[in-house]
Amino acid sequence: MLALVDHFSGYQSRHVLRNINLTITEGESVAVVGESGAGKSTLLRQLYKLSPKTIALCPQSLGLVPTLSGFHNIYMGQLHQRTPFSHLLNLCWPQTSAWNNVLSIAKHVGVQELLRQPVSSLSGGQQQRVALARSLLQAQSKAVTTFIGDEPVSSVDQKHGGLLLEQLKEQFSTVIVAIHDRQLALQHFDRVIGIQHGSVVFDEPSSTLTLQDLSVVCRDQ
């Protein structure tokens, strides 16, 4: 369970989040919607800080190493599970077991043909898929049960975005995603949280909401 109680956060003298009271229990899939600058990214970071060892984080910046290949960027999702010698070996000469493991994950998100290419040569959508594959690899650790993503499918079309979201829900018991696509938010999540000016405007089951309801906090999308 992740919980924020009467939470305020920001930087310098500016409050980005104001009086947030929020509880997310294991097994939920939660979409966070709102305009740019509403506080969605800050909210995700605060939730991540509550239990970083159990959460796979996919930030908007993706956190990829441009000069490394797709394989190496995905492989980094399991750095905490292996010894330093094993890391060095796989960085220099990927071992068959490590390669096949990464390959199986890459196939789930459609980047199996890109494993040998440097990430810097990939499109924005391809880079997002590599970052998602890295998160899926983290899910192989029993300790990692939650995925938090900041616009993880913003660079892919709606159809493939929905498929990728379903992949995440299959691999993680809890999924929390900031997303600008209102239709994806309603179709693929059990719960939708609307953020405006750093405050929660609504927090409802997706089955009770409409696209018009979400437009209250998503007027720029």
Report the pLDDT value the prediction gives residue 8, as an integer from 0 to 100.
87
In a domain, residue 60? The reply is yes
Report the pLDDT value the prediction gives residue 45, as an integer from 0 to 100.
94
Query: pTM of the full predicted structure?
Result: 0.88
Q: What would you report as the CA-atom Rg of the chain, rounded to the nearest whole angstrom?
A: 18
The answer, yes or no, to whether residue 112 has pLDDT greater than 90, is yes
In a domain, residue 44? The reply is yes
In a domain, residue 63? The reply is yes
Distance separating alpha carbons of residues 60 and 150, to the nearest angstrom: 5
Report the pLDDT value the prediction gives residue 77, as an integer from 0 to 100.
83
At 211 the three-state DSSP class reads: helix
The answer, yes or no, to whether residue 76 has pLDDT greater than 60, is yes
Distance separating alpha carbons of residues 207 and 191, to the nearest angstrom: 8
At 167 the three-state DSSP class reads: helix
Neighbour count for residue 120 (Cβ, 10 Å): 11
Classify residue 93 by burial, with Cβ atoms within 10 Å: 0-12, 13-18, 19+. Answer: exposed
In a domain, residue 220? The reply is no
In a domain, residue 39? The reply is yes
In a domain, residue 183? The reply is yes
In a domain, residue 92? The reply is yes
Question: Average pLDDT in the 10-17 region?
Answer: 72
Report the pLDDT value the prediction gives residue 151, as an integer from 0 to 100.
94
The answer, yes or no, to whether residue 114 has pLDDT greater than 90, is yes
Distance separating alpha carbons of residues 78 and 131, to the nearest angstrom: 13
> Hey, what amino acid is at 177?
V
pLDDT tens string 142-159: 889 999 999 999 988 999
pLDDT tens string 43-74: 999 999 999 999 999 998 888 999 999 999 99
Range of the domain at 18: 2-214
Looking at residue 132, which CATH number applies to its domain? 3.40.50.300
Q: What are phi and psi of 108, to 5 degrees?
A: -65, -30
In a domain, residue 219? The reply is no
Q: How many folded domains does the chain comprise?
A: 1
pLDDT tens string 179-205: 999 999 999 999 999 999 999 999 999
Question: Average pLDDT in the 113-122 region?
Answer: 96
